[in-house]
Amino acid sequence: MKLSQKLTKEQTDPFFSKWQEMSLVISELHERREKRVKKEMESGILLYKKLLAHCLDAEKDAGEKAVAPLNGEERLAFVASNPGTYAAFRQLDELFAEMKKLIAAKRIQLKRLEKEI
What local confidence, expressed as pLDDT, does residue 65 receive?
Answer: 63
Q: Are 12 and 51 in contact (CB under 8 A)?
A: yes
Provide mean pLDDT across the span 67-83. 92
What local confidence, expressed as pLDDT, does residue 1 receive?
Answer: 45
What local confidence, expressed as pLDDT, does residue 88 receive?
Answer: 97
Q: How far apart are CA 97 and CA 100, in angstroms?
A: 5
pTM score, two decimals?
A: 0.86
Q: Is a pLDDT exceeding 70 seen at residue 50?
A: yes
Task: Kindly report, residue by residue over 20-36, the tens digit of the pLDDT.
Answer: 999 999 999 999 998 89
Q: Is a pLDDT exceeding 80 seen at residue 60?
A: no
Round to the nearest angstrom and report the end-to-end CA distance of the chain.
18
Q: How far apart are CA 116 and CA 49, in angstroms?
A: 33
**Domain boundaries of the chain, sorted by first residue:** 3-116
Provide mean pLDDT across the span 65-87. 90
What local confidence, expressed as pLDDT, does residue 51 receive?
Answer: 93
Q: How far is CA 57 from CA 29, 40, 76, in A?
A: 33, 26, 19
Pure H helices in the chain: 3-6, 9-31, 37-62, 72-81, 86-116
